[in-house]
Copies of this chain bind each other. A is one copy, B any other.
Amino acid sequence: MTKPPNPQRRSQKSRDAILTAALELCGEEGYGRMTIEGIAARAGVSKKTIYRWWPSKGAVVLEALHEAADTVAPHPDTGDFAADMRTQMATVIRFLSPPSHAPLAGLVADALRDPELAEQMRERLVRPRIEAFGQRMRRAQEQGQLHPDADLDVALDLFYGPLYHRLVLHLGLPEPAYLDTLIEHVIRALDPGHGRT
Contact = CB atoms under 8 A, between A and B. Distances in A.
Contact of A182 (B109, B122, B154): B154
A153 B178 contact: yes
A106 interface: yes
B113 A170 contact: no
Number of copies: 2
A126 B194 contact: no
Interface stretch (A73-81, A133-141, A155-163): A155-163
Contact of A113 (B31, B122, B171): B31
Interface string A73-110: 00000000000000000000000000000000110111
Contacts of A188: 188-189, 192, 194
A169 B126 contact: yes
A82 B106 CA distance: 36
B168 A157 contact: no
Nearest to A126: B169
Interface in A127-180: 151, 153-154, 157-158, 160-171, 178
A190 interface: yes
A185 interface: yes
A32 B158 contact: no
A170 B122 contact: yes
A186 to B, nearest CB: 6
A161 B174 CA distance: 13
